């Protein structure tokens, strides 16, 4: 699956993933009004608004980007109707040729991780049928429970040609509280990065592995070290834009082949029309603002990588 992502990145010349993390406060009033008119101010109404918003964002950007990353929490908060919007979004993005990274941050003990892996990447067995539940291409995974919580995901990656991005160093301010603690002279995130490299060896797909890592754009110096520890792992880089990461910070996350990293932006793209820079689009053309923001992000990263 990493080869499909790489092919999409090469085709679009954009190592960019758009985070589809819809908040109701981002969604333009006309979309909300229509959805509430049809389904009421309910979870169903919210789910419908989220789906219509996502659909227009995908339609306006799919030719420019290799992948989308829906954050499942933003759908789960609306219960079953929210998760129905998640499923519709995943399916529609795949129809448009996009790689879908489910930002689910699941992780549990063995048999339970196997259920999560089947849910998001594999298929579940119901008698003689093998059925896809959520059907993402990649999922993000939390490593705190160790190898036996990760192995069921790796098994599905091998069997179904899917991929994972394992949390190594997250983009948030307090990520260092545990992740940076020093063990035998090195921070915990480096030990996890080494495990990612080892797990990744069992899931190779060409010159890269289907096992990637999450490393925040907000920690570029750590990204530089982790890039070397996990040379064959793609790094999913959140934290660009709204969280403070800049194009110039990103260069160390890439390998010398120009590959090896994909940078996420969520709010900075999907709610671009709320920024002064893109305000002239207005909420009625929010998707055109998102398209402009993708082009600007692409130029920012390309410029940083050229230096």
Residue 303 makes contact with its own copies by CB under 8 A: no
Contact between residue 48 and residue 22 where contact means Cβ atoms under 8 Å apart: no
Residue 61 makes contact with its own copies by CB under 8 A: no
Q: Which residues are the active-site residues?
A: 105
Here's the x/- map for its own copies, 191-210, by CB under 8 A: it reads as xx--x---------------
SS3 256: coil
Cβ 40 to its own copies shortest distance, Å: 9
Identify the residue among 26, 92, 134, 273 touching its own copies (CB under 8 A): 134
What sign for the dihedral angle of Cα 107, 112, 114, 116? negative
Cβ 300 to its own copies shortest distance, Å: 22
Q: Estimate to the nearest angstrom the gap between the alpha carbon of 225 and the chain centroid.
A: 22
Q: Pick the piece of the chain touching its own copies (CB under 8 A) from 4-12, 60-68, 178-186, 294-302.
A: 178-186
Residue 83 makes contact with its own copies by CB under 8 A: yes
What does each C-alpha distance from 77 to 54, 280, 290 come to in angstroms? 16, 31, 24
Q: What is the DSSP pairing of strand 211-215 with strand 261-265?
A: unpaired
Cβ 187 to its own copies shortest distance, Å: 10
Residue 173 makes contact with its own copies by CB under 8 A: yes
Cβ distance to its own copies smaller for residue 82 or 260: 82
- Of 300, 208, 294, 284, whose CA–CA distance to 19 is shortest? 294
Here's the x/- map for its own copies, 103-132, by CB under 8 A: it reads as --xxxxxx-xx-xx-xx----xxxxxx-xx
Report the alpha-carbon distance of residue 133 to residue 222 in Å, rounded.
36
**For the chain, what's the residue count?**
307
Q: Pick the piece of the chain touching its own copies (CB under 8 A) from 10-18, 36-44, 61-69, 276-284.
A: 36-44
What does each C-alpha distance from 200 to 197, 214, 243 come to in angstroms? 5, 14, 28
Residue 233 makes contact with its own copies by CB under 8 A: no
Backbone angles phi, psi at 47, to 5 degrees: -60, -45
SS3 167: strand
Cβ distance to its own copies smaller for residue 171 or 233: 171
Neighbours of 191 (CB within 10 A): 15
Cβ 293 to its own copies shortest distance, Å: 19
Going by the DSSP 8-state scheme, the letter that residue 245 receives in this structure is B
Residue 181 makes contact with its own copies by CB under 8 A: yes
Cβ distance to its own copies smaller for residue 7 or 80: 80
Residue 78 makes contact with its own copies by CB under 8 A: yes
Which residues does residue 183 pair with via DSSP β-bridges, in sequence order? Answer: 186
Backbone angles phi, psi at 240, to 5 degrees: -75, 145
Cβ distance to its own copies smaller for residue 74 or 272: 74
Cβ distance to its own copies smaller for residue 218 or 233: 218
SS3 103: strand
Cβ distance to its own copies smaller for residue 188 or 304: 188
Residue list 87-106, contact with its own copies (CB under 8 A): 87, 105-106
Cβ 65 to its own copies shortest distance, Å: 21
């Amino acid at each position: 699956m990493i080869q499909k992502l790489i092919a999409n990145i090469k085709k679009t010349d954009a190592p960019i993933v758009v985070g589809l993390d819809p908040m109701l406060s981002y969604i333009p009033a006309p979309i909300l009004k229509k959805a509430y008119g049809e389904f009421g101010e309910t979870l169903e109404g919210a789910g419908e608004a989220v789906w219509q918003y996502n659909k227009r964002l995908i339609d306006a950007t799919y030719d420019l980007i290799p992948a989308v990353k829906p954050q499942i929490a933003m759908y789960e908060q609306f219960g079953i109707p929210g998760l129905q919007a998640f499923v519709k979004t995943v399916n529609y993005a795949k129809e448009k040729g996009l790689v879908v990274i489910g930002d689910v941050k699941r992780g549990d003990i063995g048999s339970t991780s196997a259920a999560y892996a089947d849910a998001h990447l594999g298929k579940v067995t119901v008698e003689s049928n093998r059925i896809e539940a959520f059907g993402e291409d990649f999922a993000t995974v939390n490593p705190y429970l160790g190898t036996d919580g990760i192995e069921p995901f790796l098994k599905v990656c091998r069997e179904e040609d899917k991929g994972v991005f394992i949390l190594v160093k997250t983009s948030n301010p307090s990520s260092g509280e545990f992740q940076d603690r020093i063990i035998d002279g090195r921070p915990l995130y480096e030990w996890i990065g080494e495990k990612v490299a080892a797990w990744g060896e069992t899931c190779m797909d060409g010159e890269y592995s289907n096992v990637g890592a999450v490393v925040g754009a907000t920690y570029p110096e750590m990204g530089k070290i982790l890039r070397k520890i996990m040379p064959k792992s793609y790094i999913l880089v959140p934290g660009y834009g709204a969280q403070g990461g800049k194009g110039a910070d990103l260069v160390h996350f890439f390998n010398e082949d120009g590959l090896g990293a994909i940078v996420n932006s969520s709010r900075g793209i999907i709610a671009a029309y709320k920024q002064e820079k893109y305000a002239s689009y207005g909420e009625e053309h929010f998707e055109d603002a998102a398209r402009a923001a993708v082009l600007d992000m692409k130029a920012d990263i390309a410029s940083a990588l050229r230096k």
